[in-house]
Amino acid sequence: MAFEYAPAPESRAIVDLKSSYGVFIDGEFVDTADGHTFKSISPATEEVLAEITEAGPADVDRAVAAARRAYDDTWSTMPGAERAKYLYRIARIVQERSRELAVLESLDNGKPIRESRDVDLPLVAAHLFYYAGWADKLEYAGLGPDPRPHGVAAQVIPWNFPMLMLAWKIAPALAAGNTVVLKPAETTSLTALAFAEICRQADLPPGVVNIVTGAGDTGRALVEHPGVDKVAFTGSTEVGKAIARAVAGTAKKVTLELGGKAANIIFDDAPLDQAVEGIINGIFFNQGHVCCAGSRLLVQESVYDDVLTSLKRRMATLRVGDPLDKNTDIGAINSAEQLAKIRTLSDIGEAEGAERWSPPCELPDRGYWFRPTIFTGVSQAHRIAREEIFGPVLSILTFRTPAEAVEKANNTPYGLSAGVWTDKGSRILWTANQLKAGVVWANTFNRFDPTSPFGGYKESGYGREGGKHGLAAYLKGGEN
Ligand code: NAD
């Protein structure tokens, strides 16, 4: 059982929420052509946080035109060292305002403040600092003596790491000399709009960064706009495929970071206590709303009982509740729609014959919540073993030999990430070599670093973000 803790809520007074927000075009917050709006809701309380403007095709057009002007007139001709100064300035402002941004992210997304404060925001700043360092060193990126940017980048991001995904997209694009029009996900626009304010605070030239808010139609208008040179998308495989079809036959460059169904493999010689922590982190971090979540656990049969007992004991200590409470481990599910999806797939898991278990834990009355859940008796044919649930739900399978582990791990249309837990270095290397996954973590999980490329195989997408590879995607002569 969890210890009793006194509530330790982070104050939200530090956040200055406006009742409504326009779109950010050419350095100004402006109204849209048709004035349509939608609400951003706190998933923990269902409280309306703000009214967000829905950008239509005419607004996207204005944003792309502003980005083009800024590209031609200032940003692409500015020396890299000058671009770096802006990026460093933005990175420092993000650090200075990180507490406010972490609270805003937790309010809007539902993730625990412990994660937005200690993971998301530090990584946002780290990405901005890292790519700021590249801006005056592009000739050392391995793409020739004077690599050139593509032009205007259209960037569409999901709701699970709103500000971090923004940083992954904007930092390398600006460092390489591109200008951007970014669309945040419709349920989590607020930190992107706060970032727009930060661009103003940093005196970034108007039009270098434009933020258009809205849902799928706005995203479609943006990626299909003829004035766009480069498309960078993070989101579901389904939408990724639609985008790939839409830009096929055009001169646009594309990178796609899509879904995943990662295997987390526990060999019988693994340090089991650490492995159990890795399993918890792999699937319950960020409510399991993680593209690279370790959602398929593969345990060697000889240690299965021990792992399951320890895992259940550890799960019983997880605290589910108020995202702004500093003791909270698992926050709110991001939207009613996502909660319905998680419930449906979990019900299908039971109907298909897998055994479902969750620790006893009280859930708040209002808001969108789902208990941490595991399924045992899962076969590879079960939908819960094949489809991305994108929630705090773990499917557990077993294996006898390393070859069987690899075979099962690779038996998926996805290939974003994987985990390997073992005492033997040679086994780590052997397994990692066999796994068809863009990232393989050994004796750890969900570790990120701006210098390290991240991306998928197969239906998890193509192109890399992070590191020099992530920079190359924004330069002519790069891989994509
Ligand atoms: P989603 O594909 O529904 O939406 C992602 C973004 O695309 C949103 O901003 C949405 O408004 C926009 N969009 C929707 N339809 C569009 C269209 N036709 N054209 C252009 N834009 C459109 O995904 P989601 O539910 O927001 O995010 C969850 C998914 O994202 C999961 O599958 C997850 O695995 C994936 N993801 C991948 C990574 C990665 O790096 N590989 C990272 C985070 C999330």
Specify the CATH number for the domain of residue 101: 3.40.605.10
Query: Angle, to 10 degrees, between the axis of helix 272-284 and the axis of helix 304-315?
Result: 50
Residue 322 domain-assigned (yes or no) = yes
Q: Judge contact between 64 and 225, C-beta under 8 A.
A: yes
Looking at the structure, tell me whether residues 433 and 302 fall in a common domain: yes
Which CATH number is 328's domain given? 3.40.309.10
Q: Which residues line ligand 1 (CB under 6 A)?
A: 156-160, 183, 185-186, 215-216, 219-220, 223, 234-236, 239, 242-243, 257-260, 291, 388, 390, 416, 456, 461
**What's the pLDDT at 463?**
93
Looking at the structure, tell me whether residues 374 and 288 fall in a common domain: yes
Is the four-CA dihedral 17, 232, 207, 30 of positive or negative sign? negative
Tokens of 272: 């089991």
Tokens of 385: 């073993």
- The residues assigned a catalytic role are 257, 291
Ligand 1 mutation pick, 159, 186, 189, 236, max ligand atoms within 8 A of CB: 236
Residue 171 domain-assigned (yes or no) = yes
Looking at the structure, tell me whether residues 195 and 55 fall in a common domain: yes
Segment 407-429, tens digit of pLDDT:
999 999 999 999 999 999 999 99
| Ligand 1 atom closest to Cα of residue 159 | 26
Looking at the structure, tell me whether residues 85 and 232 fall in a common domain: yes
Looking at the structure, tell me whether residues 161 and 280 fall in a common domain: no
Cα(321)–Cα(312) distance, rounded to whole angstroms? 19
Cα(215)–Cα(354) distance, rounded to whole angstroms? 35
Question: Which H or E run contains 315?
Answer: helix 304-315
Residue 10 domain-assigned (yes or no) = no
Residue 4 domain-assigned (yes or no) = no
Centre of ligand 1 from the C-alpha of residue 109, in Å: 15
Residue nearest to atom 40 of ligand 1 (CA): 257
- This prediction has a pTM of 0.97
| Ligand 1 atom closest to Cα of residue 214 | 11
Tokens of 225: 């706009």
Q: Judge contact between 284 and 330, C-beta under 8 A.
A: yes
Cα(265)–Cα(294) distance, rounded to whole angstroms? 9
Instruction: Identify the domain containing residue 175 by its residue range.
Output: 20-258+460-472
Segment 65-80, tens digit of pLDDT:
999 999 999 999 999 9
Residue 143 domain-assigned (yes or no) = yes
Looking at the structure, tell me whether residues 240 and 268 fall in a common domain: no
Centre of ligand 1 from the C-alpha of residue 123, in Å: 20
Looking at the structure, tell me whether residues 164 and 53 fall in a common domain: yes
Residue 11 domain-assigned (yes or no) = no
Looking at the structure, tell me whether residues 88 and 172 fall in a common domain: yes
Residue 480 domain-assigned (yes or no) = no
List, in order, residues 6 or more apart from 409 with CB less than 8 Å away. 263, 265, 296, 298, 418, 435, 437
CA distances from 373 to 74, 209, 274, 355 (A): 52, 40, 20, 10
Write the single-letter amino acid at 278: G
Residues in the chain with pLDDT values less than 50: 480
Looking at the structure, tell me whether residues 294 and 230 fall in a common domain: no
Structural domain total, the chain:
2
Residue 308 domain-assigned (yes or no) = yes
Looking at the structure, tell me whether residues 188 and 306 fall in a common domain: no
Looking at the structure, tell me whether residues 237 and 341 fall in a common domain: no
Residue nearest to atom 42 of ligand 1 (CA): 291
Looking at the structure, tell me whether residues 281 and 398 fall in a common domain: yes
List, in order, residues 6 or more apart from 50 with CB less than 8 Å away. 17, 18, 19, 20, 21, 39, 40, 190
